[in-house]
Structure 1
Amino acid sequence: MGNIMNLVIVESPAKAKTIEKYLGSDYKVIASVGHIIDLPPNELGVDIENNFEPKYIVIEGKEKVISSLKSNAKKADTVYLAPDPDREGEAIAWHIASQIDKNKPVKRVLFNEITKKGILEGINHPGDINLNRVNAQQSRRILDRLVGYMVSPLLWKPLRYGLSAGRVQSVALRLICEREEEIEKFIPVESWSISADFNIESKATKEKGVLKAKLDKIKGKKAELKSEKEAESIFNDLPKDFIVTSVEEKAVKQNPAEPFITSRMQQEAIRKLGFTAKKAMAVAQSLYEGVELAEGPVGLITYMRTDSTRISPEAENQAKEYIENTFGKDYVTKNKKSAKKSNNVQDAHEAIRPTSVLRTPNDIKKYLTNDQYRLYKLIWERFVASRMAEAVFNQTVVRLTGLDYEFKASAKTLAFAGFTKLYLESKEEDVKNEEDDETTISFKISENTPALRDKTEKKQHFTQSPPRYTEATLVKTLEQQGIGRPSTYAAIISTIVERQYTELQEKKFHPTELGRIVNKILIENFPKIFEVKFTASMEKDLDLIEDGSENWHNVLSNFYKNFDKELNAASTGKISANLETNKKCPICKSELVIKMGKNGAFLACSAYPECKFTSNFKRNEKGEIELVEDKAFEGTGIKCEKCGAELVFKKTRFGEVIACPEYPECKNIKNFLRTPDGKFKILEAGQVLDEKCPECSKPLTLKSGKNGMFAACSGYPACKFTANIEMKDDGTIGIKPNTPNESGEVCEKCGKPMVIKRSFRGAFLACSGYPECKNAKPIKKK
């Protein structure tokens, strides 16, 4: 092959395909498939004594990628580095530059949208690699490595090998644990309300109607009824005859929400679409990189990692023209003002918006997956609505007075739809909707009109505990507290779930007992490093490094001074992994504590070894601990065919099994799955499943591995398909779909996600593009 005039290097093969279409034959576009070098996986990789210099190595499996980058760069006249336009992308560009020919002209280009306009604008305005941005990203990587590599071993001895502590993830865990403590300590406060129906006849029209109103004031002061006795007294003292003392009518305007920034997009995708933050980012990435339309591959949205609501004048004008043509001139915003820039907003990119408003969701639906369509529709509607006129409501407030008592009724009706014709923002999960004070007023009411009190009721209320975090509210809190950055929220959340420090129940985060203990150890031994404000201040320091106003060596040095003190103290002291409870031992009356064993958490007497009492336990909705009968040896009703004893349920580190109670004399063990009706089915090796192999259509059979039962193709070794199993809703045993690798790793050969598969030899990573791409490799041990 001859010389290449221009070589463009991006991160993603999908993006490469889209970009090459617009640049033409003078350009060759190839992909690095993410990072090519990183800190070593099995050592610290940071020279603390030498100004925190990192030691980078080639990532395993990336040797061929680097070889391709070098050979192509050698043939090119100019090399353009075009990874994503953020800190991480800048670091990747820097790493690529370090691996290719140093004598070649190397330029950095930024593509904020993968469209013809965005590509040509980026390629025609090349610059140099922003070393301040590189140093900011490098500092984050080093900070995370110092904390993770040096703190994690302190969890191993009291708990178990392999647990890890992350600098930012541990603060997110702390927020969840502290919220759980608030819920557990919460004491409800009682209050009462009184409402009544009033029969009113309009003076002007003689029209009669009923108005529902709520007691608002007593003797001119806010009505606050704290007990049933007080409410009963007021209830019995209310007069029958009231008069309408005031009717206030006014127009209320509601402004549309700003176009999406990363965190808001994640929150809305979680609430409206049922996505996770991680899924929202993955789908958005595919929309940004390009989708094959009739006209060819096109990037449908602007870059999705942004904290700015800024919009380009061209996009603004296109949106307004579309709104006027579609809805009418009245629906175009008259005086749209940009949101005030916050101190911690970097404003490096525009808000997330469609690259062209003219590509409506319905017009391109047939080219998109269902998830792509739903997210694109959300982004498109949010952006267009942000450029529409405000909604106008007519609000009416009626006050009725009788002796010392004043009742209030309010109603709101839509006068002009404005932006609500297209888009309504979802409600916050943490907003309490205890009472809806809005009522309906269906007839004209005038002041000084008599009102006769009719049906009256009193109602008891209790204040509610703070709500548990959902993914959306956790993202919102991380953003408000300055923890992490928009591009990191999805990784933070998936990490604390993957590590089994938290679990989602009904879409709300609950800390596991392991998570509580890890949080306790970290806070007790590292009160500064895992403090919320300190972590937020570190984010600001990283921003200062990117601005060029702070030296990255100094930032790391200042951090390490605090960190080293806490690390030395924790390393030399005794770390307690016991959680205190308010329960007493039923045998010796000493305090019970929660401990972690190989099979999970359990209660134990703090007077051990003098008292050896232990028990299983559970937490109720308030988080209170309740002792439960040990179910480890619950009978199954099945007779052991080897010794005649009744088989029982037992818990092992691999999960629950059915086993003989006479172990170790009798080692009869059976695997099983719970059925939807609470019963169980025993699994036997060789059992044929109802499902067929998705690769060759031969029957699937059950196989026994070191980690339990799994499904395998009966056509082995010609077909090596395997999968995890699960109990289906209809009570049959089926296969679980392969789950994406939580590290977000992609195939270095074709760019598709790597998935976890199981074989006779254990779990491994395989390309989801199989059988077209047969790339497979072992899972790295952390």
Structure 2
Amino acid sequence: MSESALVIVESPTKARTIKRFLPPEYVVEASIGHVRDLPQSAAEIPARVKKEPWARVGINVEENFAPLYVTPKGKAKIIRHLKEQLKQASVLYLATDEDREGESISWHLLEVLKPKIPVRRMVFHEITRSAITHALENYRSLDLSLVRAQETRRILDRLYGYTLSPLIWKKIAYGLSAGRVQSPGLRMIVERERERIRFVASEYWDLAALLVKPGHDLPFEARLTEFQGKRVASGKDFDPATGTLKSPDLLQLDRTRAEELQTSLEDLPWTVREVKSREVTSRPAPPFITSTLQQEGNRKLGLSARETMRTAQRLYEEGYITYMRTDSPSLSAEAVEATRRQIRELYGEDYLAREDRQHSASRGAQEAHEAIRPAGDTFRHPDETSLTGRERSLYELIWKRTLASQMANARKRSQTVQIVAGEALFTATGNAIEFPGFLRVYVEGADNPEAALENKEVLLPPLEEGNHLTPQAVKPDQHRTKPPARYTEASLVQQLEKQGIGRPSTYAAIIATLYERSYIRRQDKALAPTFTGMAVVQLLENHFEGLITYSFTRNMENALDEIALGERDSLAYLKEFYLSEEGLQKAVERRESEIKPEASRSIALPQLREHQTVKVGRYGPYIIHYEGDQEVHASIPEEYTPADLTEADIAELIAVQKNGPAPIGTDPETGKSVLCLTGRYGPYVQLGESDPESTEKPKRASLPKGVRPSEITLELALKLLSLPRTLGTHPESAQEVVANIGRFGPFVVCDGEFRSLKKEDDVYTITLDRALELLAEEKKGRRGGPKVLRDFGKDPGKNRKIAIYDGRYGPYIKAGTKNFSLPEELQKPEQIEKMTLEQVLEIVNKA
């Protein structure tokens, strides 16, 4: 006998996918994430508890850390709808994600809906017909240990942040914050920056010889490694803190010595002294877990951890991949069979590993579900999907990594050849792939460029001991040691995982929070701390060292794992963390009065002179330069990072502030002075002097990335000030067409329609005809933004833009700056395509 069932998931996309595999009498609804949470603002605190001292935090510590749960704005309507649907059902299935947060969402749904019918917890790690059928037949009850662990995490995060953040506001600047996981993560980035500040560069030289074996056309490179029995120093032989050699037994060449040695080798014979050859076997990496997917998404696709997880979420909800939050690299027996079958079909038996490869989860794995892989028992080839853009790229990455994990090892032949010329010993290395194995499908990314070279082939001619070689060229080669590399998102995720800080499912949020707080900024692909970020870490290290040690954060994660397994009491742990003699509350009470705001806002840097200091203020970092009784304050532009701020930069900033800017020249058209100034957001050029009495601001333009103020010429300044350029009028709308540079790069715009310029276009020379071509192209959603499904142009009544977008929770209407839900019965692509502007406006006006 069939039953009328209500199935609740988190998102409309997941609801649409799962609905395809359920009986027609099953109704699937989306909660759109959490239906209850701790209050995010004072406005959300209920009137009955507003005057309670604990209301702001949302945790009643005296009542056994009772959390105050409220219904977030906009969720009351969803809850009412779910209650109405529940009245028609004979059974309730909670089909939220199978991790702690998903279990927590299900528990909150029960608390809000209070169902009187049977409740079944339905879990699955992929959205396929067989997985959904299995989940329906093998339901379970709610796991309250998982719920307690998630609630304890939420309480810990709230107490940590709401106790320390106000202190940081008072001592450094308003709006800053500390976090249980974000602060140790920030500390990692700051510690690496300090290493770069302390770093002392060293110069060293060697010789590079281009050699050829008589009778062979293939030249190869060999490098000087020894001279007169002493090993020639390379980068790893220098102490990064002093710039000196670690051992006196090494030979450090300078330019003069290298050139002398080059000359002495001109007429000497070159002979092969020794050839060593060995076979090297490489094994494929295991299938993706959450952290490795984030790392490779960053290395190979240039995606942030958050972008990777959002894209993976969509792929999971659309039924393309298994659940994307997992610590386990293992594959089910069905998945192994599907993988091996596809390898046979695409590459043949030779490329298949002899035995099934099994990968076990690391110690401390929390979400030990199956690895991230293509969904189903038959994997869809990327070419057979309808995926595009980053979804296609990420799916292909997952598909390739899964196949590679069950493929044969790669076999390489590594050769090391020693060559003598007088008292000099040169070494050449070769690397030939004898059988590519898994490398035919997938090569793991590397943060270190030198490590990436290991997978490349370097071919040498056949060489034997005693062979004579002919040098085509011998050149001195200059090198400088490099400071420790800043973390990329990929390498930071790797380090967070290694130190046990947070969990893979939280890494994206950690990094995103650091960006949002302006504690870090992206420097090319690397993460650099801001001066504000350094000040926050400095305060926490000086006064709350124990709260941001890596071991403290790691132990907290272990405690949460024990609570999730039912092995530890959550209330006892919260009391120990917050109320004990060494707990957070008493630590802040003891130290608050000792923390001096002036000292907290000051950052010690070795490149500063005795009469200079760097401070962090409300409007950003600035230098104070003391001259007798006088103080000169100069803002530090955002583009400067602590390790890269040189003495010359400091002197230039102080000089401009003291003396005022000297005009670069005069604009021949207006006769106004052209100035180069520095503000909070970096250096810029300005046409004319600022007049406090005038409401009209002078025209300004930022300097291009990498151009220093001292390098600005009048010609370049005038070119920068030529923007925005009016190119002409649009032949259809008679509106101006303008070229300019914005936050996301150069663009053209006409009547509110923007199009980014292509790589081959130059914003300073683009013509009206070319701009019209770009404006005629279909608009694409900007990276990370929602995709435009239908653009209806302007609402003639209110002059606002109307469009339908594909959002995270399904298609929606955007009218001007407001978003409106699109009824479910109109969400199919063919229905959206048929909709008229009148229909859309009717939905908007009724909302």
SS of residue matched to 1:71: helix
What is the identity percentage for the equivalent residue pairs of Structure 1 and Structure 2?
A: 34
Structure 1 pair 259–607 and aligned structure 2 pair: CA distance change class (3 A) = same
Match of 1:577 in 2: 601
Amino acid at match of 1:180: E
Match of 1:751 in 2: 809
Q: Do structure 1's residue 19 and structure 2's residue 77 form an aligned pair?
A: no
Q: Do structure 1's residue 551 and structure 2's residue 585 form an aligned pair?
A: no
Match of 1:293 in 2: none
C-alpha distance in structure 2 between counterparts of 1:437 and 1:386, whole Å: 20
The one of 311, 315, 326 equivalent to 1:283 is 311
Q: Do structure 1's residue 622 and structure 2's residue 648 form an aligned pair?
A: no
C-alpha distance in structure 2 between counterparts of 1:754 and 1:226, whole Å: 66
Match of 2:707 in 1: none
Q: 1:113·1:288 contact (CA, 8 Å) conserved in 2?
A: yes
SS of residue matched to 1:440: coil
SS of residue matched to 1:469: coil
Q: Deviations over 1:672-705 (max 9, x none)?
A: 5559765556999xx999899xxx9895999xxx
Amino acid at match of 2:110: A
Match of 1:391 in 2: 410
Structure 1 pair 360–234 and aligned structure 2 pair: CA distance change class (3 A) = same
Match of 1:296 in 2: none
Structure 1 pair 757–506 and aligned structure 2 pair: CA distance change class (3 A) = farther
Greater fraction helix? 2
Q: Deviations over 1:32-70 (max 9, x none)?
A: 110010011232011222222211111121111111222
Structure 1 pair 363–527 and aligned structure 2 pair: CA distance change class (3 A) = same
Cα deviation, residue 431, structure 1: 5.0
Cα deviation, residue 766, structure 1: 7.2
Match of 2:247 in 1: none
1:186-585 superposed matches below 5 A: 186-196=199-209, 200=213, 212-217=221-226, 222-223=231-232, 224-228=250-254, 240-241=268-269, 243-290=271-318, 299-346=319-366, 348-356=368-376, 358-365=378-385, 367-401=386-420, 406-429=425-448, 439-443=458-462, 445-450=463-468, 455-560=473-578, 561=580, 562-573=583-594, 574-575=596-597, 576-582=600-606
Q: 2:290·2:325 contact (CA, 8 Å) conserved in 1?
A: yes
SS of residue matched to 1:567: helix
Q: Do structure 1's residue 87 and structure 2's residue 100 form an aligned pair?
A: yes
C-alpha distance in structure 1 between counterparts of 2:673 and 2:253, whole Å: 57
Cα deviation, residue 599, structure 1: 3.7
- Length, aligned pairs only: 730
Q: 2:531·2:621 contact (CA, 8 Å) conserved in 1?
A: yes
Amino acid at match of 2:403: V
C-alpha distance in structure 2 between counterparts of 1:289 and 1:409, whole Å: 52
Q: Deviations over 1:432-458 (max 9, x none)?
A: 779999853223x33344557775444
Match of 1:780 in 2: none
Structure 1 pair 72–750 and aligned structure 2 pair: CA distance change class (3 A) = farther
Q: 2:408·2:437 contact (CA, 8 Å) conserved in 1?
A: yes
Q: 1:240·1:454 contact (CA, 8 Å) conserved in 2?
A: no
SS of residue matched to 2:145: helix
C-alpha distance in structure 2 between counterparts of 1:465 and 1:148, whole Å: 34
Structure 1 pair 129–723 and aligned structure 2 pair: CA distance change class (3 A) = farther
Q: Deviations over 1:723-781 (max 9, x none)?
A: 99999962599999789799xxxx9999249999987xxxx7777999859789xxxxx
Cα deviation, residue 117, structure 1: 1.2
C-alpha distance in structure 1 between counterparts of 2:349 and 2:756, whole Å: 58
Amino acid at match of 1:479: E
Structure 2: tracts of 5 or more residues without a match: 42-55, 233-249, 705-715, 739-746, 787-804
Amino acid at match of 1:314: E
Match of 1:157 in 2: 170
Structure 1 pair 105–748 and aligned structure 2 pair: CA distance change class (3 A) = farther
Q: 1:689·1:699 contact (CA, 8 Å) conserved in 2?
A: no
Structure 1 pair 355–700 and aligned structure 2 pair: CA distance change class (3 A) = farther
C-alpha distance in structure 2 between counterparts of 1:458 and 1:283, whole Å: 49
Q: 2:4·2:89 contact (CA, 8 Å) conserved in 1?
A: yes
Q: 2:216·2:461 contact (CA, 8 Å) conserved in 1?
A: no
C-alpha distance in structure 2 between counterparts of 1:552 and 1:268, whole Å: 36
Q: Deviations over 1:512-561 (max 9, x none)?
A: 22222222223223211122221122112211211222222222222224
Structure 1 pair 690–152 and aligned structure 2 pair: CA distance change class (3 A) = farther
C-alpha distance in structure 1 between counterparts of 2:294 and 2:442, whole Å: 17
The one of 741, 749, 763 equivalent to 1:730 is 763
Structure 1: tracts of 5 or more residues without a match: 291-298, 703-710, 716-720, 777-782
Amino acid at match of 1:321: R
Match of 2:239 in 1: none
Structure 1 pair 302–658 and aligned structure 2 pair: CA distance change class (3 A) = same
Q: 1:9·1:31 contact (CA, 8 Å) conserved in 2?
A: yes
SS of residue matched to 1:156: helix
SS of residue matched to 1:669: coil
Q: Do structure 1's residue 169 and structure 2's residue 227 form an aligned pair?
A: no
Cα deviation, residue 420, structure 1: 1.5
C-alpha distance in structure 2 between counterparts of 1:142 and 1:775, whole Å: 39
The one of 116, 128, 136 equivalent to 1:115 is 128
Q: 2:729·2:737 contact (CA, 8 Å) conserved in 1?
A: no
Q: 1:595·1:601 contact (CA, 8 Å) conserved in 2?
A: yes
Match of 2:67 in 1: 54
SS of residue matched to 1:22: coil
Amino acid at match of 1:413: A
C-alpha distance in structure 1 between counterparts of 2:548 and 2:736, whole Å: 49
C-alpha distance in structure 1 between counterparts of 2:472 and 2:4, whole Å: 87
SS of residue matched to 1:152: helix
C-alpha distance in structure 1 between counterparts of 2:179 and 2:811, whole Å: 24
Tell me how large the CA RMSD over aligned residues is. Answer: 4.6
Structure 1 pair 449–566 and aligned structure 2 pair: CA distance change class (3 A) = same
TM-score, scaled to structure 2: 0.75
Q: 1:244·1:398 contact (CA, 8 Å) conserved in 2?
A: yes
SS of residue matched to 2:601: coil
Cα deviation, residue 79, structure 1: 1.0
Q: Do structure 1's residue 100 and structure 2's residue 113 form an aligned pair?
A: yes
Amino acid at match of 2:281: K
Please identify, of 432-441 and 335-344, the stretch whose mean Cα deviation from structure 2 is larger.
Answer: 432-441
Cα deviation, residue 369, structure 1: 2.8
Greater fraction strand? 1
Structure 1 pair 373–724 and aligned structure 2 pair: CA distance change class (3 A) = closer
Please identify, of 165-174 and 257-266, the stretch whose mean Cα deviation from structure 2 is larger.
Answer: 165-174
Cα deviation, residue 91, structure 1: 0.6
Q: 1:183·1:466 contact (CA, 8 Å) conserved in 2?
A: yes
C-alpha distance in structure 1 between counterparts of 2:445 and 2:180, whole Å: 32
Amino acid at match of 2:763: D
Amino acid at match of 2:558: K
Q: 1:240·1:452 contact (CA, 8 Å) conserved in 2?
A: no
Q: 2:213·2:219 contact (CA, 8 Å) conserved in 1?
A: yes
